[in-house]
Chain A
Amino acid sequence: MRVVVDAERCQGHNRCHALAPVLFDIDDLGYATAAPGSVPADLEAAARLAEANCPEHAITIDP
């Protein structure tokens, strides 16, 4: 599993980083990018939670 952040949609709500800090990096302006690599098995639930809480629908999960 991988997480993808659509930079065009992200508005810096920061919900993904709060729910799964290992999976999402936040820049100085507050915008998110997906951390490199695939999602460790024990963080798959956190990845789905991040996806389900993004108000901008900016996160997708690539299974």
Chain B
Amino acid sequence: MPSLRDIRRRIKSVKNTAQLTRALQLVAASRMRRAQQRVLAARPYAEAMRELIGELAGQSRAAGADLHPLLAHRTVAGVGVVLITPDRGLAGPLNTNIIRRGTEVIMREEGQSLNVQVVTAGRKGQDFLARRGRKLLGTFTGIIDRGAYDDAIPIARLVMDSYASGAIDRCFLVYPRFVSTLVQRPEVVQLLPVEGPATADDAANTGKDLEYIYEPNPGAILEALLPRYVEVQIYQALLETAASEQSARMVAMRNATDNAKELVQTYTLTYNKIRQAGITREVTEIASAAEAMAASSR
């Protein structure tokens, strides 16, 4: 049986941990609110852009015109993977999940004997892949928390340049999509070549049969729209990652705090039991001693 002093020490240590996790929880909670607002505010633009692309891509295919290079499907020899992860840990299973998904994609493509080039944004993914001795095409850190559009531009540039030079013929974007505070889902989307709307539903909503007037012309609009679209996809993924990170951390730290409180309760109970047992023992000892003395003096 542990001594009272041991238990007292344990309780104190658990309480310290609880204080720490609680502080982290509060910080994450306030950052989470901001990050969630940001990602929700940015979604309408990304969606509107997706619809526009679908509209134009359909149009330019129907016209039999030369497809924009970013839309053209080529024979695939090299594949790019953009892996977006948080910079920091203490976010529950989030990092493990997203890195596992990223690794799956890399393995799958390499399994088809394709040359895979990885770009990471976020320290966690970078560290993991670097530890496994993988050479990275590019690494970006310290940008998840900022949520600035300008941070998405160099990543998009790198990917599009590699695509233009023929180093990669297809590119995937892997990031944790923010679904709710409790749910973040690793998501894989094809960044290049740009695909139209994912579902037939989207296409129906935009009114496929409308005869648009294009100014200056579909090609020129695509020319302006596509690079912007790639940037927006990456920007959106950065925001999703930030919201996911803070949400996952908030929940993980809340669980940790709750667990610590429970532990303190169990320890306190044991502590009191042992204390009470000690007192009872002493009382019986004194009582029996007193009785023995009374008996002998009689």
Bound together? no
